Structure 1
């Protein structure tokens, strides 16, 4: 096989990355729901024929890109790639088959060039509703109550979608079929864009050269990560972090991690982590893997290293089966972002012992997710939002104020969009929380506040979050950020809420959502 020139490699590899980003832009522009269109809770990528992620949309959700290959392998096990034909696709949202929680639906569309399977175009998006006991399944005691599970399988677009039986099955089991089916269609549109870009590259440069570049992109990332790990002193570094409570009994849940560096390899072992929770505060193993890899890449490598399958090769990840970072089926997993943020922060604290100059203080580092829904004669309306908080400070400066946390990267939903789209509430305040960042030589980022005026009776409010009791800690003498909180103001009464729960609100209520601040860096 001929050696590819550095120029060709640079041009083609950047074309792959550009295609993945374009897919992400197409997905969000075509989406129906605010959680995808505005908050951009989605991701896209291109895989090779073996199902290894080659290029991923680094401008969207980190936690969704790290597990594309894991979900794909379960799909390929259900139907071997050799049996695929043009017009087929894989689909799954099964948390126990490489997925995250049920709202995250994965789609893989094969890329054929001259009848040869070259790879896959992939898109994953958080669906506004997938059925279940509520629009935000935070009270389920098993995964069945959280919504419709789509097992990893192969389907045909012409036969099973576009009004076919699979589309009808999904639509019949959800509250807002127009938005959910519309968002899945936006995933197909994104995948078609990925297919077209790879086919065009093959036409321009030849299939053999494109395959070479796909392999070299993985090898390049592997070399860069191995070099970065080799620069860390060998040893085992331990840390732990704790969730406020298990969502049922009020008892905290602790993550324990041991990070072992040996030459150019790294092992992450979560032995000692708490057993799985009875609530949805459990992380499927694929989510744990994604969060772990994101933490390592954030700390160890620069942004110029592509986030692909090669990044993962030097790293081994272990989590005890039956722990809340690797639960047994059918444990509920809807709120899986909370435990994986504690895994993320525990790795920051562990590696901070080895390379303190590279690590920032912990931020709010939680997914604060709220839902407001109402059932009227015309059917359901559902609004879901992810609220940003404060980032941790670093040796170089203050933490960022009021933005998405490291595993999320969601944007805020504009107030103007909610005013146009929803008639059962309005946003009366959106602001930063003063002095919520931890004090220090560099302060932590400030949290945010949103106040929703409820305009109709019977609006169901649901929430899951963390750091209501244990705020983000500072480092090197920096102070802790403020905790998060939530309350309803009803006349002269203030009704506080825990970090997980659900209630029915009344017309005139003011729902106040407040996120936490980030930790400070260094003594003031």
Structure 2
């Protein structure tokens, strides 16, 4: 073991290098998952998370690749794994998993896999990863269910591998409860494999730096990150601010209300006043609500500080039990992203009253996730796929909003070529929707205009889970609202519902228009050069 001199600048530099190496380890872990996954929503869009944890279940580092909903809920999930599988019971070659929405990442389609990491025969940490399984049985990722038992296969905390031996029974259950058994099995193995890569690279790193454990390095990471966030909070104005936002909901509009309190010890978001849990599956478990609310705080307060248990420790989120942002089991939660991904906008509405120079206007926010299912066209006859797209992001103080960008989720759009190669769907149009971004001194980002035909000889199901159709993203400070969304059948009077399973007949063409982001500031104050550029780039209607 190499001797360490625990003083002076060289030691600090050495610790920073080790921290950066740990970040590189988890990024390779995530890239392994990205490149080996079977489902397009993971492989092409990056709907995943990866991270390394200490033996107390505290996240030390997360990969940049991935979504905040997965990452921040996974950060809490590992603690639940440790209650089911205590550290002293773990053996080299063990792998654990669950898709419990309340102890995982929010709905049954996300599988969390945890692997203990050993170095020289000693347990030194835990690697965790999460990805979206395309189909887990039940009714699918659509908010039509009335309880979680309708929504698919539920897997409690279980051993997927026991000292290297696959739990064949559990894998058989997975494969028997999905419409896409090949993809599901492949995605599970990709999760296991990415954790294995993480454990291997961590051991190599520890050998290189002469480390026997991660205790000192982990403590440095957590304390440094916490101190940096605390400094950022101390520079903010203190007080409490309340904001409410209305979205479409399922049967009726939903109100999301938050009170954000900035104090010396930290920041708390309280969702008291939000609507009660819905009858259908747009409800949000607390873990997922907390993940996105905290992400909103992080973006505004401490965007450049690494995300780990230390930096997260100064943020707290509470909500009344039984509310739509703290839905209790067995509430249906399949489309929890609809509510969860709106929460940064709700938090920004609070922070706008305290630090208006740091927060954007409202955007589309929740993914416009088009999930299709059919009996013909896939590798084994049937197919199921999710096409990721989104609308415009709200304008930012001093900058226009981004067009067709998935914020806050951060996932990438699904390439048209991949969809047309693997499914009986044909894209006739996918282009920016001019003028959909709200006008302002700073203009909101534009949404998309998309047309997709069912070229199969059989009907295809669309599992719709869209919002902002009845309630458009709002502008700020005299900025205009963004355009609302729309879905219907081209060349007909048929307008489709924003949520629920709907049938697309052979030859029918779906027309989907995604919302635009809200603007900031009076449109009369917009720079004339920017106005001319908008016209030249066809971003506005002439």
Kept in 2, the 8 Å contact 1:432–1:449? The answer is yes
- Structure-2 residue corresponding to 1:493: 492
Distance 1:313 1:383 in 2: 37
Q: Deviation per CA, 1:342-370, whole angstroms, max 9, x where unpaired?
A: 32211001011111111111111112111
Instruction: Assess if the C-alpha contact under 8 Å between 1:47 and 1:119 holds in 2.
Output: yes
Deviation of 1:159 after TM superposition, in Å, equals: 6.5
SS in 2 for 1:165: helix
* Alpha-carbon distance, 1:259 to partner: 0.9
Q: 1:376 to 1:341 in 2, by over 3 A?
A: closer
- Measured in 2, the distance between the counterparts of 1:476 and 1:319 equals 29
Q: 1:326 maps to what in 2?
A: 326
**Matched residue, 1:211:** 215
Q: With the length of structure 1 as denominator, give the TM-score of the two structures.
A: 0.95
C-alpha distance in structure 2 between counterparts of 1:338 and 1:427, whole Å: 25
Q: Which residue of 2 aligns with 1:465?
A: 466
Native 8 Å contact 1:31 1:37 kept in 2: yes
Q: What corresponds to 1:277 in structure 2?
A: 278
Q: Is 1:166 aligned with 2:170?
A: yes
CA contact (8 A) 2:142 2:501 kept: no
Identify the match of residue 157 of structure 2 among 152, 157, 164.
152
RMSD: 1.6
Q: Secondary structure, in 3 states, of the residue corresponding to 2:293?
A: helix
Instruction: Spell out, residue by residue over 1:99-138, the C-alpha distance to the aligned partner (whole angstroms, 9 max, x if none).
Output: 31111110011001122211111110011001012x3332
| CA displacement at 1:62 relative to structure 2 | 1.4
Please state whether the residue corresponding to 2:385 is helix, strand or coil. strand
Report the counterpart of residue 295 of structure 2 in structure 1: 294
* Secondary structure, counterpart of 1:66 in structure 2: helix
Contact persistence 1:235–1:260 (CA under 8 A): yes
Deviates more, 1:376-385 or 1:254-263: 376-385
- Tell me if structure 2 keeps the 8 A contact 1:243–1:338: no
Count of residue correspondences: 514
Q: 1-side partners of 2:289 and 2:442: how far apart?
A: 30
Question: Residue in 2 aligned with 1:230?
Answer: 234
Please give the per-residue CA displacement for 1:359-415, whole angstroms capped at 9, x wherever unaligned.
Answer: 111111112111111124944211112212111111221111111121x11111111
| Aligned residue among 121, 137, 145 for 1:140 | 145
Q: What is the aligned counterpart of 1:380 among 382, 407, 411?
A: 382
Q: Is the 8 A contact 1:107 1:124 kept in 2?
A: yes
Is the CA contact (8 Å cut-off) linking 1:39 and 1:412 kept in structure 2?
yes
Structure 1, residues 202-227: CA drift from partner, whole Å, max 9, x if none? 11112257431122111111111111
Q: Do the aligned residues in 2 keep the contact of 1:41 with 1:410 (CA within 8 Å)?
A: yes
**Is 1:78–1:154's contact at 8 Å kept on the other side of the alignment?**
no
What does residue 478 of structure 1 align with? 479
2-structure distance, mates of 1:319, 1:2: 47
What is the match of residue 345 of structure 1? Answer: 345
Cα 1:252–1:315 shift into 2, 3 Å: same
Describe the SS at the equivalent of 1:496. coil
How many angstroms does 1:157 deviate by? 5.1
Verify: 1:36 aligned to 2:35, yes or no: no
2:391, 2:342 → 1: CA distance?
15
Looking at structure 2, the residues matched to 264 and 79 of structure 1 have their Cα atoms a distance apart, in angstroms, of 33
Instruction: List 4+ stretches of structure 1 deviating above 6 A.
Output: none
Q: 1:224-281: per-residue Cα shift (whole Å, max 9, x none)?
A: 1111111111111111112212x1x3x2111111111111411111111111111111
- The C-alpha deviation readout for 1:280-303, integer Å capped at 9, x for no partner, is 111111101101110010000132
| Stretch deviating more after TM superposition (135-144 or 120-129) | 135-144
Q: 1:93: which partner in 2?
A: 99
Q: Report the equivalent of 1:370.
A: 370
Query: Which secondary structure state, in structure 1, belongs to the residue aligned with residue 341 of structure 2?
Result: helix
Aligned to 1:405: 407
Tell me, yes or no, if the aligned pair for 1:42 and 1:60 is still in contact at 8 Å. Answer: yes
Q: For 1:314 and 1:395, how far apart are their aligned partners in 2? A: 26
Q: Which moved more, 1:320-329 or 1:260-269?
A: 260-269
Question: How far apart in 2 are the matches of 1:209 and 1:195?
Answer: 13
Q: What residue number does 2:187 align with?
A: 183
SS in 1 for 2:443: coil
Aligned to 2:6: 3
- 1:242–1:342 contact (8 Å) kept in structure 2: no
Post-superposition shift, 1:2?
A: 6.5
Unaligned runs of 5+ in 2: 524-542
Distance 1:210-1:70 versus aligned 2 partners, 3 A rule: closer
Residue matched to 1:417: 418
Structure 1: any 5+ residue segments left out of the alignment?
A: none
